[in-house]
Amino acid sequence: MDVMGDKATLFETGRFVQPSGEEATPDESRDETADAVETVETDETVETEETAETGVTVETGEAVEEMRLRLAAAAGDAEATSVLGAMLLRRGDLDGAEPHLRAATAAGDRAAANNLGVLLHQRGYADEAAGWWRVAAVAGSAAAAHALGRHCRECGDEPAAEYWLRQSAEQGHALGAYALADLLEHRADSGAERWMRAAAERGHREAAYRLARALDRRNPQYFDGDAGDARDARDARDAGEDGDAGKGGAAGAAGAVVQAEAEQWYRQAAARGHRRAALHLGAILERKGELKEAGRWYLTAAKEGEARAACALGFLLRDAGDTENAAIWWLRAAQDGDGNAANALGALHAERGQTQTAERWYRAAMDAGDDNGAYNLALLCAEQGRTAQAEQWYRRAAYAGHREAANALAVLLLRGGDTAGSEPWFSKAAEAGSVDAAFNLGILFAGRGEDTVALRWYERAAAAGHTEAALQVGIARLREGDEQEAERHLRCAAGGGSAEAAYRLAAVLDARRPPQPAHELGEIAHEKTECEEWYERAAQQGHRRAQVRVGMLAAARGDVCEAARWYREAAEAGSRNGAFNLGLLLAREGSEPEAVVWWTRAADDGHGRAALRLALVYARRGELAEGQRWADRAVSLGPGEVARRAARLRDALRQELSA
């Protein structure tokens, strides 16, 4: 039995790089967080005039409005003065805005006090700005309370920050609710989600995104790290275990509800231009099989500069058969530093035989911090017979924690005769979750005769779905006499496609069957049993002993044609028992010359009964010397009963020849 894990194809990782944290990129939420303290507030909506009939432009309307406000301000209108100051502040005219805002503030206008704080903050006078924000916040300005709360938090005064942010949030200010949620989340306060939800419901896109992430984390059945590979996540979920089916069903339904809500918030944030939300939304839709819409969101995020979305879009196009456009998006993502995209490009070029280009992209993946680049480079070297270089790259990836690289390194060392050096790497890979490594450890310990330790590793691999490991556990349990446990593991292995497991399972079930009454050939007597179905499954996979057994069961049912078909298939594959039984069937049907051909093949392969049959045939034909030769052969081949009968026949033939 060979060790597992020496991959023949290039390794492909998940579709997205897994960053260590969830920090927003600098430009992702700037308009909603970093600049939120600079919100200009007015107590009324300033209307501009733009009508098609008159042809007045927005700029002209603003100029007219500004002139009107200046005249009103000059006449002592405090409200107009405040609005004029806000207009100039928005325009960036700080020198022009400041006297108007101070004048309006002195007249008691709270919006002007808030905006004066914004202006001073922009000039770098944070403490003076905080003073005016306090004035406006006390007067009931939600925007000022938000700005003051953020200022307090920046100064390290979290109690004051919470007080003012709560004042802002409770007045319905979206930025205040988001800032309060962020503060509470930093403290791990359970109330954070309430305010994050409030901000999201008021249209705050970053809040919607973070709320969706929180819902994802609460639901590990669906959580994919940071938009991890949709396909891998789906496989992981399908492989999950649940001891109680009813409980699992309820939990699954609840998880689906949570995931649906997360999707809703991702969708809201993505629709408002949040590129990472678009990435996650695309991953969710891909898992659901809605590939067309998933592609649209990946494209939206990719166009906004999200490298992981460009990489995911490339995989989606590749799966659709459009490798050329896939390569374009992978190239774009790789140039933006996405190691997974660089790996994908490397694999693409390797498949085309462009090994130098493939190696260049694998190295680019390593430079981007993706350990799969080293692993793929090792695979490339191994395929080219560059064993020393392969070992070097396997080691690099293995030391970085790549479990399959550790397993592959161990396989390489084991094949080189370094058993002692391979074991620690197998252990490291197995402890990290490599199923192949666990199975390989079982093989290693079994080879040393440490069957108990080997069985423990086989069981670990079998529990993770490893077919060959399940077969080995089943065989071990059969040796121990634990037929029930053996059957369970053999069923797992047989269901996974193991022909040997299907044959052994059939043998276990066959041994339990009550004796069947004998029937004449040509008479169909009974239906196929479960054990025969398993024999047939193994036979169809080329298992020669199973083919012989299926032939025997068919003969017992009286199905001569079916029996002959399976005996012939086994015989042509090299089964001496198949050849012998086919000979018996042919002789019974009157085709002795052809039977002799198959018995000769079986006898030449060491089948004693076939040699005895040949001795009898040649004796009946009068070819005594040939009969004696085959009788001698049967005596040497056995088994005991055959050897005794063959010896008697040989002695009789000798007497005839000497007479």
pLDDT value at position 526?
Answer: 55
Higher pLDDT, 51 or 14: 14
Q: Round to whole Å and give the CA distance between 412 and 21.
A: 35
pTM of the model: 0.71
pLDDT digits (tens, 9 = 90+) for 229-254: 433 333 332 333 333 334 455 666 77
Which position has the token pair 């100029």?
Answer: 63
Task: Look up tokens 């649209």; give the residue.
Answer: 296
Cβ pair 313, 340 in contact under 8 A:
no
Average pLDDT of the residues of the chain: 85
Q: How far is CA 574 from CA 256, 543, 585, 596, in A?
A: 54, 11, 18, 16
| Cα–Cα dist 277/183, whole Å | 22
CA Rg value for the chain: 40
Name residue, tokens 């808030």. Answer: 114
Cβ neighbours of 219 (radius 10 Å): 18
Token digits of residue 213: 């992430």
Q: Average of pLDDT values for 70-83?
A: 91
Q: How far is CA 277 from CA 223, 265, 272, 274, 380, in A?
A: 14, 8, 10, 5, 36
pLDDT digits (tens, 9 = 90+) for 457-472: 999 999 999 999 999 9
Residue 639: asked if its preceding bond is cis (omega within 30°), the reply is yes
Read off the pLDDT of residues 543-570 as tens digits, 9 standing for 90 and up. 999 999 999 988 888 888 999 999 999 9
Token code pair at residue 128:
């003076």
Task: Give the residue-averaged pLDDT of 190-201.
Answer: 94
Percent of the chain with pLDDT over 70: 84
Range from 64-68, 268-272, 415-419, 591-595 that averages highest in pLDDT: 268-272
Which of the four pLDDT bands, split at 50, 70 and 90, describes residue 258? confident
Torsion of CA 579, 582, 584, 589, to 10 degrees: -150
Q: What integer is the mean pLDDT of 25-51?
A: 37
Q: For residue 82, which of 110, 108, 112 has the smallest C-alpha distance? A: 112
Quick check: 326 and 295 in contact, CB under 8 A? no
Confidence class for position 56, pLDDT limits 50, 70, 90:
very low
Mean pLDDT of the region 463-485: 94
Residue 220 has what pLDDT? 60
Residues 470 and 13: their CA atoms lie apart, in Å, by 26
Give the C-alpha distances (Å, rounded to integers) separating 414 from 143, 405, 426, 437.
68, 14, 10, 12
d(CA 315, CA 307) in angstroms, rounded, equals 13
Cα separation, 117 vs 368, whole angstroms: 44
| CA distance between the termini of the chain | 56
| φ and ψ at residue 14, rounded to 5 degrees | -65, 170
pLDDT: is 413 or 516 the higher one? Answer: 413
Listed residue (163, 160, 143) closest to 152, CA to CA: 160
Give the angle 530-536-542 at the CA atoms, nearest 5°. Answer: 150
Residue whose structure tokens are 């480079």 = 377
With contact defined as beta carbons under 8 Å apart, do 649 and 612 qualify? yes
The per-residue pLDDT for 40 is 55
Residue 52 clears pLDDT 60, i.e. is over it: no
Mean pLDDT of 206-228: 76
pLDDT band of 542, cuts 50, 70, 90: very high
Distance CA 588, CA 558 (A): 13
What phi and psi, each to the nearest 5 degrees, are found at residue 591? -110, 60
Question: What is the pLDDT, as a whole number, of residue 58?
Answer: 44
CA separation for the pair 558, 253 (Å, rounded): 52
How confident is the model at residue 518, as a pLDDT? 55
Q: Which of 142-146, 394-398, 530-534 has the lowest mean pLDDT?
A: 530-534
Q: To which residue do tokens 């009964």 refer?
A: 609
Residue 140: in which H helix or E strand, if any?
none
